[in-house]
């Protein structure tokens, strides 16, 4: 009798879990259609990654149910995860492909790193807030991402041991583009970075390196949390 009750209970839990997973995958599909495709995101690899990565598993538990909404969400320590459109836009801008090695500055929840890891070979990501970096590292490991490497520290200096990178994504707003990041970008590489002084307008910039020279282009007005420095 006791065994039967346990089996029944486990089946119910399994059913509820599968139901929740189906609901989230449906929400992800809708997010891709209504927030990304209608706003012009076209890159197939980016759209597939956005359909695949379980954003609800990477945001804090209090935010799970809002994971697929069209807005940024708090992830603790005064930080936020960008709205899905901005993540997709930044990803599409660097044109990620299999075989690439990418650097991200500002691991946060680990979501942007996971999106990149679905497409490219290796993702190196640096986070300045220890607890956030550790949390993301554990979550990403639990979700099975073996090609994401997290470092705790000041991303101003990039990650020299693994440079140069095919592309760099910075997810916190800087007042200027950190010179070490420009150095660690490969020839013909692309970097997307929000630039702007605190409390002023920020622009997402595309930075390209051609023949050793840096060219910048303004893309979109944005609002990111500030790039902070370790003392
Ligand atoms: N890419 C993240 C978004 C994180 S918000 C995601 O997908 O969830 C920006 C992150 O940048 C925050 O976690 C913040 O702590 C981090 N950050 C700010 N300044 C930094 C720096 N100098 N080096 C590394 N990380 C930094």
Which one of 82, 109, 131, 230 is the catalytic residue?
82
Which residue is it, tokens 């320590």?
A: 77
Which residue is it, tokens 């995860």?
A: 81
- Domain range summary for the chain, segments of one domain joined by +: 2-222
Q: What is the pLDDT averaged over residues 162-168? A: 98
Q: What is the whole-number distance in angstroms between the Cα of residue 165 and the centre of ligand 1?
A: 19
Over residues 207-220, the pLDDT tens digits come to 999 998 999 999 99
Over residues 76-117, the pLDDT tens digits come to 999 999 999 999 999 999 999 999 999 999 999 999 999 999
DSSP annotation of 84: H
| Residues contacting ligand 1 via CB (< 6 Å) | 75, 79-82, 105-106, 108-109, 111-112, 126-129, 132, 154-156, 171-172, 225, 227-229
If you compute the radius of gyration of the chain from its CA atoms, what whole number of angstroms results?
Answer: 19
CA gap 78, 218 in Å, rounded:
27
**Which pair of structure tokens corresponds to residue 88?**
């997709």
Over residues 42-75, the pLDDT tens digits come to 999 999 999 999 999 999 999 999 999 999 999 9
Which helix (H) or strand (E) covers residue 18, if one does? helix 2-31
Q: Which residues pair with 102 in a beta bridge?
A: 123, 167
The CATH superfamily holding the domain 2-222 is Vaccinia Virus protein VP39 (3.40.50.150)
Cβ(203)–Cβ(181) below 8 Å? no
Q: How confident is the model at residue 162, as a pLDDT?
A: 98
DSSP annotation of 36: I
Question: Which residue from 84, 129, 85 is spatially nearest to 105, judged by alpha carbons?
Answer: 129
pTM: 0.93
Q: How confident is the model at residue 1, as a pLDDT?
A: 65
Residue 15, pLDDT above cutoff 80:
no
Q: What is the pLDDT averaged over residues 111-139? A: 98
Longest CA–CA span in the chain (Å) reads 75
* Secondary structure percentages of the chain, helix, strand, coil, to 5: 45, 25, 30
Q: How confident is the model at residue 21, as a pLDDT?
A: 67
CA gap 118, 49 in Å, rounded:
6
Q: Is 230 marked active-site?
A: no
Residue with the smallest CA separation from ligand 1 atom 4 is 108
Q: What is the whole-number distance in angstroms between the Cα of residue 20 and the centre of ligand 1?
A: 29
Q: How confident is the model at residue 2, as a pLDDT?
A: 75
User: What phi and psi, each to the nearest 5 degrees, are found at residue 43?
Assistant: -60, 120
Cβ(192)–Cβ(217) below 8 Å? no
Residue with the smallest CA separation from ligand 1 atom 13 is 108
């Amino acid at each position: 009798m006791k065994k039967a009750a346990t089996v029944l209970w486990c089946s119910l839990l399994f059913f509820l879990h599968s139901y929740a997973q189906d609901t989230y995958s449906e929400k992800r599909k809708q997010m891709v259609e209504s927030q990304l495709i209608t706003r012009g995101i076209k890159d197939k690899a980016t759209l597939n990654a956005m359909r695949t990565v379980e954003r609800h598993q990477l945001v804090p538990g209090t935010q799970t149910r809002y994971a697929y909404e069209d807005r940024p969400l708090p992830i603790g320590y005064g930080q936020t995860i960008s709205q899905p459109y901005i993540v997709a836009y930044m990803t599409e801008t660097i044109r990620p492909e299999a075989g690439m090695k990418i650097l991200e500055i500002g691991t946060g929840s680990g979501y942007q790193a996971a999106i990149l890891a679905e497409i490219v070979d290796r993702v190196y990501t640096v986070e300045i807030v220890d607890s956030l970096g550790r949390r993301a590292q554990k979550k990403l490991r639990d979700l099975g991402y073996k090609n994401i490497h997290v470092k705790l520290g000041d991303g101003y200096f990039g990650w020299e041991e693994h440079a140069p990178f095919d592309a760099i994504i910075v997810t916190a707003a800087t007042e200027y583009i950190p010179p070490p990041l420009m150095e660690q970008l490969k020839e013909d590489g692309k970097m997307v970075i929000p630039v702007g002084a605190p409390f002023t307008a920020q622009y997402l910039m595309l930075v390209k390196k051609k023949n050793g020279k840096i060219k910048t282009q303004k893309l979109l007005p944005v609002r990111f949390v500030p790039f902070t420095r370790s003392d």
